[in-house]
Structure 1
Amino acid sequence: MTFAEKFDSFVCEGDAIACEISGLEIVARIVRDDCPDTPDERQDGFWPSEYIGDPGFIGPGPNWRQRLADARKKAEAVMAAWCNGEWFYCGIVLSVAREGVTLDENAASLWGVEANYPGTDNSYLTEVANELLPEALDAARAALARLCAGREQQAAGG
């Protein structure tokens, strides 16, 4: 039980993939994360450090100066790409429907996911969507149970 479709190697807000499982239509869509924090504000250790107590400590060993310089260069490039709008944080949001009726618009989601991150092919966006599938299916089953219970109450004159 996975999405056969995959997100493209370059994605935009609103892009989506879909699959059908047991008569349920599941759509995974990309929603821009509205948290304004920069990458270095979101991630401890974003900036590499030579100091052992810092979250970005690169570790001891041979060529540590070169490794530190390379890591700083990479972090600067990632930050520059984010500032230029080349990548963004998003949420992968799954909705579920049955026979065209939406059961849950936000059945499952994960936020703070990097979209179009430098040097990646976005394949992990599809992996996230697949990991969220069981939660979305549970939400769909719960919604169907509520609808059936309501219908039974209505039929009983309640």
Structure 2
Amino acid sequence: MTLTERFQAFVCEGDSITCEVAGFEITARIVRDDCGDAPDERQDGFWPSLYKDSAGFIGAGPNHRARFDAAQARAEAIMEAWRKDEWFYCGIVLSIAREGIVLDAHAASLLGIEANYPDSANSHLDSVANELLPEALDTGRAAIQRLCTAVTTDEARA
């Protein structure tokens, strides 16, 4: 069971893909992550290092200085692209509906995902949405069960 649609290679906040699974309509949408931390604040080791005890240690061996310089240039380019809002952190939020009735607008989600990251085709967004699909289905089934129980209880009272 997977989402059959795919997110585009360039995405914007609000973009979505949908599918139908087991009678449920599932929509995966992109929301902007509300944490404003920069990439180097979010990720230990974002900046490369020549020191072995540092999270960004590039490793010992031949050409370590050239590898460091390349990694430093890459990190600087990623930061500059983030500052220019060319890429952003987002969340994937799945909603679930049955016969057009939304059972849960936030059935499953994961935030802190890179969108439009340099040299990325955003295929990881599809992977995240598919990983969240079982949780969304469980949420939808639980919502249906609660509704059925409520209807049965109300009928018994009548």
Q: Shared topology, TM-score over 0.5?
A: yes
Please state whether the residue corresponding to 1:59 is helix, strand or coil.
Answer: coil
Q: Does 1:148 align with 2:140?
A: no
Report 1:1-158 matches (<5 A).
1-157=1-157
User: Alignment partner of 2:157: what SS?
Assistant: coil
Percent sequence identity is 63
Q: Distance in 2 between matches of 1:136 and 1:62?
A: 49
1:6 counterpart SS class: coil
Offset at residue 144 of structure 1 (A) = 0.6
1: CA distance, partners of 2:117 / 2:151: 47
For 1:4, the aligned partner's letter is: T
The amino acid that maps onto 2:95 is S
User: Aligned partners of 2:54, 2:100: CA distance in 1, in Å?
Assistant: 52
- How far apart, in 1, do the equivalents of 2:117 and 2:80 lie? 12
Q: SS of the residue aligned with 2:6?
A: coil
Structure 1 CA distance for aligned equivalents of residues 23 and 53 of structure 2:
53
1:61 Cα deviation after fit: 1.0
Which whole-Å CA distance do the structure 1 matches of 2:44 and 2:76 have between them?
15
Instruction: Show structure 2 runs of 5+ residues with no match.
Output: none
Distance of 1:18 and 1:61 partners within structure 2? 48
What is the number of equivalent residue pairs in this alignment? 158
1:22 Cα deviation after fit: 1.0
Aligned-residue CA RMSD (Å): 0.7
Structure 1 length-normalised TM: 0.99
Distance 1:20 1:68 in 2: 47
User: Secondary structure of 1:148's partner?
Assistant: helix
For residues 152 and 62 of structure 1, what CA distance do their matches in structure 2 show?
72
String of CA shifts for 1:42-89, please: whole Å, max 9, x gaps: 000000000011100011111000000000000000000000000000
User: What is the rounded CA distance, in whole Å, between the counterparts of 1:94 and 1:52 in structure 2?
Assistant: 41
